């Protein structure tokens, strides 16, 4: 089977990158993975620089993608909780591998940047 010559279509991980590595996806998934089921306000407290509007948008997208579940409890006051799904949790080894790479590689990236900038 021949791959497309369009680089975005030729690379099989492009859709995964689009889903998983958008601005707030990884921090939200990390919080839910590390701390378990969370109410919206608890997520806001843990992710201090995200706006409520953006958090709502990202949670809806993550729910749509099957990475997070939303549970509504019909009580007074209403309670909504978010939890990482099995599919979302299956990204854990990928994030662990990226963490290993970051620990080993980011310092080298910084050195390369400094050397490049100094040469310019």
- Structural domain for 33, as ranges: 7-89
Q: 54-112: per-residue pLDDT in tens?
A: 999 999 999 999 999 999 999 998 899 999 999 999 998 988 898 899 999 999 999 99
Q: Is residue 99 part of a domain?
A: no
Q: Residue 1: what pLDDT?
A: 45
Domain count, the chain: 1
CATH assignment at residue 31: 1.10.10.10
pLDDT of 19 above 90:
no
**How does the average pLDDT of the chain come out, rounded?**
91
Cα separation, 23 vs 45, in Å, equals 18
The enclosing H or E element of 72 equals: strand 68-73
Q: Residue 18: what pLDDT?
A: 83
Q: Is residue 44 part of a domain?
A: yes
Q: Residue 52: what pLDDT?
A: 95
């Amino acid at each position: 089977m021949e791959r497309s010559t369009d680089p975005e279509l030729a690379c099989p991980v492009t859709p995964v990158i689009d889903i998983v590595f958008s601005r707030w996806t990884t921090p939200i998934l990390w919080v839910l993975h590390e701390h378990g089921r969370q109410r919206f306000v608890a997520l806001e407290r843990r992710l201090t620089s995200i706006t409520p509007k953006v958090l709502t948008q990202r949670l809806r997208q993550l729910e749509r993608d099957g990475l997070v579940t939303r549970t509504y409890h019909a009580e007074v006051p209403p309670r909504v909780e978010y939890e990482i799904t099995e599919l979302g949790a299956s990204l854990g080894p990928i994030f662990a591998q990226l963490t290993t790479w970051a620990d080993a590689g980011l310092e080298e990236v910084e050195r390369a940047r400094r050397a490049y900038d100094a040469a310019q």
